[in-house]
Amino acid sequence: MRKLSLLFVVFLISSVWGSDTRRQTFPTDAASSYFRYFDANRLYFSSYSNGIIGRNLVTGNADFFLDDLQIIYLSGIFLGAKVNGQIRTSGAYYATDFIGGMIDQNGRPVVPLDSTFRVYKISRGDNNFNNPDYLDWPAQFGAPIDDLGRPLLFGDQTLWCSYIDGDTDYRKFNQCPPLRAEIHQTIWGWQDIPNITFCRFQIINKSENDWEDAYVAFFADPDLTTFSNDLTGSDSTLQLVYCYDSEKDQLFPFQAVGFTVLQAPLVESPGDTAYTIFGPKIGFSQVEVSAPRMEDFFSDGWNDFPAWSPQTSTMIYNRFQCLNDEGNPAIDPTTGEPSKWAFSGDPITGTGWLDANPRDRRIMISTGPLDVAAGDTCELVMAINAYRGVSFKNCIDVVRQEAGALQQMFRKNVGLFSEIIYANWGEQEVAIPIRAINLVKLKKIEFDCQLVSDSVFIKMAIPTLRTEMADFSTQLDTLNNAIHVRILFDDNCLGIGKGDLANILFDAPTTTPSNELNFMV
């Protein structure tokens, strides 16, 4: 099957800030974990105040869905560092080391028996009279507020909670002493970006000791409807790890889910610029991001972590560094060299290091190392996106395209992408939709679309319903088989969301018949 590759060079200008029993499970005090559901868009999942995201702690079942089909069994944050030379780790796993609470100024854990440290949920249109979470918003414990002291709404819906690893009565995963970390977790999303949610983790060192060679990681056990036929992949250029359905025993629609690091913890770096959720930060850079190899309990050396074992913390800390239980690196079989990005090949083209054994899978994306002084804070911001399509290639393509658009959005306020196109060949015009994800209203977008082919020719670009009222202009470059598109919006155009900006039309009169057109933005 022939694939066509479209190369888009994007120039952006904006005048404003635009139920299974296969696993070992461990005791969890669900009664003490006050939770809420994120339900602002097509993603629907639970978030507990003990750090566990997407698992129902009453039934033990998966609790993270895209529409009506599950995509994640469990996920959560992992931390690790050396304290006076001792490795200490904490994590939200099948058992968790966290509990809703705070660490006071004297270093003592505060874990009330009431619902003070529950998950708080606010949505657009909420106020003191229609939502108790809005009324009780815990700004005194670090919940974000706006300039007027009101709860700060991220997106159309925001979930916030504070949890700690410092109460040894609630540590169910690691035997080692706690780091005495306090984590402020924010989850949000937009209705008009229907398949994406965002997560922000602010990790505060509330101990009296510095954390040396610290790591912050996100773990997930994805289950795409069924758990036995999943595969995983990674892309270092996008800071993305993903899981997708294989073609083995596929009884449900194909799905994929991706985890993209938008902001890794920052370190001082003169001359560099890092990007944060609130804009660029000059003189800083983000720490290294990697995708450790993660397997289930059948995989020698890359196994699931045991709970409450003397070796647990060392095994976790090794994994942060992309090492197995014995401290050996993962080897890319296509190069024979160590790799910090497991299964980094391209499943669409079938090249590179591929995950070739469909079964129950795990994913981790790791950031670090860095030093975190006593009293200091580090931060991780991520996006989770999911897609359901007609093939595993289609799903992977969309997840990766959206990850790239999310990275653009985080840095330039808007990201452009497209999807695989399915069409019959012949002398016809086939429309490629150019789609956008953006934060706020934009005034101007310009981009160039170049088609790399000697047998398919760009004809024109036309506006969509979203842009037909805008000032839409194009300039065709037949010499380079390219087109320049310029869109000017008035104040009422292009709000927050994901949607089509333009259709690029081209002719394919001599191409071998095929119904799949794969291209990149």
The reply to whether 50 and 150 lie within a common domain is yes
pLDDT of residue 168: 92
Range picked from 244-253, 376-385, 505-514 for highest mean pLDDT: 376-385
The per-residue pLDDT for range 385-443, each reduced to its tens digit, is 999 998 999 899 999 989 998 998 888 777 887 665 555 555 456 677 788 887 566 78
The reply to whether 320 and 427 lie within a common domain is no
pLDDT of residue 445: 85
Per 3-state DSSP, the chain is made up of helix, strand and coil in percentages (nearest 5) of: 10, 45, 45
- How far apart are the C-alpha atoms of 233 and 361, rounded to whole Å? 11
Banded pLDDT at 9 (limits 50, 70, 90): very low
Q: Is 338 or 106 the better-scoring residue by pLDDT?
A: 338
Number of structural domains found in the chain: 2
Q: Is the pLDDT of residue 27 over 50?
A: no
Banded pLDDT at 503 (limits 50, 70, 90): confident
pLDDT of residue 231: 96
- Kindly state the average pLDDT of the residues 471-492: 86
pLDDT of residue 8: 39
**Burial (0-12, 13-18, 19+ Cβ within 10 Å), 423:** middle
Secondary structure class of 515 (helix, strand, coil): coil
- How far apart are the C-alpha atoms of 58 and 113, rounded to whole Å? 19
> Is residue 509 reached through a cis peptide bond, with omega within 30 degrees of 0 on the bond before it?
no
pLDDT of residue 513: 45
Q: Encoding tokens for residue 370?
A: 């860095």
The answer to whether the CB of 308 falls within 8 A of the CB of 175 is yes
The answer to whether the CB of 486 falls within 8 A of the CB of 444 is yes
Q: Determine the structural domain holding residue 143 and report its residue range.
A: 30-342+368-387
- How far apart are the C-alpha atoms of 94 and 54, rounded to whole Å? 11
The per-residue pLDDT for range 359-375, each reduced to its tens digit, is 999 999 999 999 999 99
Q: Is the pLDDT of residue 3 over 50?
A: no
Q: CA-based Rg of the chain, rounded to a whole angstrom?
A: 23
Q: Is residue 260 part of a domain?
A: yes
- Kindly state the average pLDDT of the residues 162-169: 95
* DSSP for residue 477: E
Banded pLDDT at 297 (limits 50, 70, 90): low
Q: Is residue 287 part of a domain?
A: yes
In 223-349, beta strands by DSSP E: 230-235, 240-245, 254-263, 266-276, 279-286, 289-290, 331-332, 337-338
- Kindly state the average pLDDT of the residues 137-161: 96
Q: Is residue 348 part of a domain?
A: no
By C-alpha distance, which of 457, 229, 203 is closest to 356? 229
- Kindly state the average pLDDT of the residues 487-513: 71
Q: Determine how many CB atoms are found less than 10 A away from the CB of residue 77.
A: 25
The reply to whether 374 and 508 lie within a common domain is no
Q: Is residue 354 part of a domain?
A: no
Q: Is 151 or 450 the better-scoring residue by pLDDT?
A: 151
**Burial (0-12, 13-18, 19+ Cβ within 10 Å), 86:** exposed
Q: Is the pLDDT of residue 112 over 60?
A: yes
Q: What is the DSSP string of 214-253?
A: EEEEEEEEE-SSSSTTEEEEEEGGGTEEEEEE-STT--S-
By C-alpha distance, which of 431, 456, 436, 458 is closest to 446? 436
CB proximity list for 68: less than 8 A, separation 6 or greater: none
The answer to whether the CB of 92 falls within 8 A of the CB of 51 is yes
The per-residue pLDDT for range 301-341, each reduced to its tens digit, is 898 999 999 999 999 999 999 999 999 999 999 999 999 99
- Kindly state the average pLDDT of the residues 71-79: 98
Q: Is residue 481 part of a domain?
A: yes
For residue 237, what is the domain's CATH number?
2.70.98
pLDDT of residue 434: 82
- How far apart are the C-alpha atoms of 133 and 25, rounded to whole Å? 31
Banded pLDDT at 346 (limits 50, 70, 90): very high
CB proximity list for 324: less than 8 A, separation 6 or greater: 293, 301, 302, 318, 330
The reply to whether 69 and 206 lie within a common domain is yes
Q: Is residue 381 part of a domain?
A: yes
Of 11-15, 276-280, 331-335, 337-341, minimum mean pLDDT range: 11-15
pLDDT of residue 367: 98
By C-alpha distance, which of 355, 353, 347 is closest to 334? 353
The answer to whether the CB of 243 falls within 8 A of the CB of 389 is no
Q: Determine how many CB atoms are found less than 10 A away from the CB of residue 335.
A: 10
- How far apart are the C-alpha atoms of 446 and 135, rounded to whole Å? 43
The reply to whether 138 and 206 lie within a common domain is yes
The reply to whether 330 and 430 lie within a common domain is no
What percent of the chain has a predicted confidence (pLDDT) above 70? 85
The reply to whether 440 and 378 lie within a common domain is no
In 375-512, beta strands by DSSP E: 377-389, 414-417, 421-422, 426-438, 444-452, 457-463, 471-477, 482-488, 497-508
For residue 421, what is the domain's CATH number?
2.60.40.680
pLDDT of residue 510: 58
Banded pLDDT at 489 (limits 50, 70, 90): confident
Q: Is the pLDDT of residue 476 over 80?
A: yes
Range picked from 188-197, 282-291, 487-496 for highest mean pLDDT: 282-291
The answer to whether the CB of 91 falls within 8 A of the CB of 81 is no
CA distances from 353 to 167, 338, 520 (A): 42, 12, 20
- Kindly state the average pLDDT of the residues 492-511: 72
pLDDT of residue 289: 98
- How much is the mean pLDDT over the chain? 87
The reply to whether 451 and 506 lie within a common domain is yes
Q: Is the pLDDT of residue 236 over 60?
A: yes
For 303, phi then psi, to 5°, come to -75, 170
* DSSP for residue 143: -
Q: Is residue 128 part of a domain?
A: yes
- How far apart are the C-alpha atoms of 236 and 351, rounded to whole Å? 15
The reply to whether 374 and 426 lie within a common domain is no
The reply to whether 204 and 244 lie within a common domain is yes
Banded pLDDT at 134 (limits 50, 70, 90): very high
**Which amino acid makes up residue 143?**
A
- How far apart are the C-alpha atoms of 305 and 93, rounded to whole Å? 9
